[in-house]
Amino acid sequence: MWSLMMIRKSISPAAGDSANTKEYQILYMLIDNKDRVVSKAELMKEIWGGNVDYNTNTIEVYINFLRNKIDKPFGQQSIKTKVGYGYYWDIS
Amino acid sequence: MRIKKRILVYVCSTVIGITAVTFLLIYILFYSYREQSFRKQQQNKIRYTVQLIQKYREQSAEISSILDEQDINDFFDEKLLVYDKEKDLIFSSLDSLEIYSARGLLHELSPAQQSVQTGEKHYDVLGAYIESNHQVYYAIIKAYDAFGYDKLSYLRNVLIALFIGFSLLVILVSLYISSKISKPIVLLADNIQRYDFSSNNEPLSVKTNTYEIEHLTERFNELVRRTNEAFVFQKRTIDHISHQLKTPLAVLVSELERISSTAADEGIKRELDRQVVKAQSLGNIITVLLEISKVEAGQELKKYSTRIDEMIYDIIGELHIIYPGFNFHIKYTPQEFDENRLEVWVNPLLVKQAFQNLLSNCIIYSSENKGSIEMDASQNGFLRIHISNKGATITEEEQKMLFQHFFRGENSRGQAGYGLGLVLTQKILAVHNADVSYNNQGDENYFTVTFVVE
């Protein structure tokens, strides 16, 4: 949990400990389900709720924001894409 | 233009202009006087010469040399021709100077036209008809008025030197006077410029013995005092109204939440939750109205860096409680961009209310159970939020009044409301240097909010 708290601050430093941004929620969900692929529909439903259409590029845009913060600066690829299905966490 | 510069320019241009015209007039008058004086002198010369010709007619062979000797002593650089009444040349001075216009002048001369004059380069040429001892003579003289031109040149140099000297003096005096006159005004303007209206400053004071400046300073201090009093009164009134309206609403929300938590029936519980959201929304509207009135009264609005898309998701979440069947299709343009372009410096409370109005309208006036939101960051320096739905559109006539108080279009018939939501939305966005616009295509309504992203 501590490491997630640090990540949360790095994602949204202005919001501090009370941060509950969508990016943090996506990251939390991927890490929490690191043994499996999380589908786009699942992410949309859990994070955006039932009132946002699943057919949207929102997830792609947010995954891109996340990669710019936690992968690109360190030359790694921790959020991987399962084409046509979803995303999974792989830090190996 | 500063008042000092204005005084300087006006005084200098007026005085120097008048001086230049006066000096030019003096020069022109003197130039004319020289011409007249020289011609008079030449006429006397002709008359004297003709008298000599008459007197020594019989000694005509020697007359030329005698006259010329005298001429050369009297004048330099001149030519005299004398003709008899038949216009035959009877005398010509020895000077080699030629009179090119002699024939023409001689032709013009007659008893009716007794004097004609012209010029050849710097020379004055004069033709004269003379009657002496019942004899008629015509004479033409060409001469250079060296003495006159010398005086004219001297006068011109004196006038130019005087003009330059006088102009410099006028500029220096004007600088001093303009500085002296404008000093208290400039001091007053600087003091007003530096005056901090947001804090309770001491009354303005300007050391001057000018009645108008003293009066202006007194009136300014009076104005500031009254404005401060008005601000204090307004602040107290706003705080009072805010307290009187928001406290009962907070109590109402709290009571509704308490009843909801104890309600056994799921239907009643859901309805109570909707009423809680509506009451909270009413509280927010009151807060927004008070904030806008503060801004319009000159108070500064507190702004924070805010992710607009996150704010919109929060609003969608809240609206979902009231309208659970409605879905939003959300799209980002382009697919990849710097997320900072979604951050705008705004007052979150106010802008949230603006979007809440637009999204509520999108739901209420939609013919389907869905609407679209596009976060458009494709143009550098701008963030556009397009909100669209399908439903009855607004006519071109109605669009002109869309953002006016109490306007309700044909499509709002049967819907609750007072026609204030869009006015409020536009006011909120205006204080954030943003705007909202409407257009439609077919049965699609589009509202576009445009932020300038720094």
Q: How far is CA B368 from CA B58, B213, B321, B371, B443, in A?
A: 134, 68, 18, 8, 11
The yes-or-no verdict on residue B305 having pLDDT over 70 is yes
- Residue type for position B88: D
Per residue of chain A (92 residues), give pLDDT as tens: 445 555 555 555 444 443 457 888 899 999 999 889 999 889 988 888 777 776 788 889 999 988 988 888 888 889 999 988 899 998 87
Average pLDDT value for chain B: 85
Question: Averaged over B144-169, what is the pLDDT?
Answer: 93
Domains and CATH numbers, chain A: 2-89 (1.10.10.10)
- Find how far residue B83's CA is from the centre of its chain: 72
* Mutate: best of B277, B305, B306, B307, partner A, most A CBs <10 A: B307
Judged against a pLDDT cut of 70, whether residue B129 lies above it is answered with yes
Task: Provide the shortest C-alpha distance from residue A37 to chain B (in Å).
Answer: 22
What does the pLDDT average to over B304-318? 91
pLDDT band at B64 (very low <50, low <70, confident <90, very high): low
Mean pLDDT computed over B307-319:
90
Over residues B8-12, the mean pLDDT reads 91
Q: In which band, very low, low, confident or very high, does the pLDDT at B28 lie, cut at 50, 70 and 90?
A: very high
In Å, how far from its chain's centre is CA B70?
A: 73
CA dist B231 and B226 (Å) reads: 9
pTM of the predicted protein model: 0.53
User: Which residues numbered 41-60 in A keep a CB inside 8 Å of some CB on B?
Assistant: 48-53, 55-58, 60
pLDDT range class, residue B396, cuts 50, 70, 90: confident
Is it the case that residue B244 has pLDDT exceeding 90?
Answer: no
Give the residue from B304, B312, B319, B330 with the most A CB atoms within 10 Å of its CB, the best one to mutate.
B330
Q: Residues of A with CB below 8 A from B370's CB?
A: 53
Residue B285 pLDDT more than 80? Answer: no
- Indicate the residue of B316, B319, B331 with minimum beta-carbon distance to A57: B331
Cα–Cα dist B417/B213, whole Å: 54
Q: In this model, does residue B6 exceed pLDDT 50?
A: yes
The pLDDT score that the predictor gives to residue A17 is 40
- Residue B275 pLDDT class (50, 70, 90 cuts): confident
B383, B388, B392, B394: CA torsion to nearest 10? 10
What's the pLDDT score for residue B140? 92
- State the average pLDDT over residues B395-414: 74
How confident is the model at residue B359, as a pLDDT?
94
Partners of B324 on chain A (C-beta within 8 Å) are: 50-51
Residue B344 — pLDDT band, cuts 50, 70, 90? Answer: very high
**A73 in Cβ contact with A7 (< 8 Å):** no
Which of B387 and B289 is assigned the larger pLDDT? B387
Percentage with pLDDT > 90 across chain B: 30
Q: What percent of chain B has pLDDT over 70?
A: 91
The ipTM (two decimal places) reads 0.78
- What distance in Å separates the CA atoms of residue B135 and residue B50, rounded to the nearest whole number? 10
B326 interface with A at CB cutoff 8 Å: yes
Indicate whether B238 pLDDT > 90. no
SS3 call for B6: helix
In angstroms, what separates the C-alpha of A56 from chain B's closest C-alpha?
A: 6
Residue B206 CA to residue B177 CA, distance in Å, equals 19
- The residue with greater pLDDT, B33 or B241, is B33
Exposed, middle or buried: residue B357 (CB in 10 Å: 0-12, 13-18, 19+)?
A: buried
Please report residues of B whose CB lies closer than 8 A to that of A52.
313, 316, 327-330
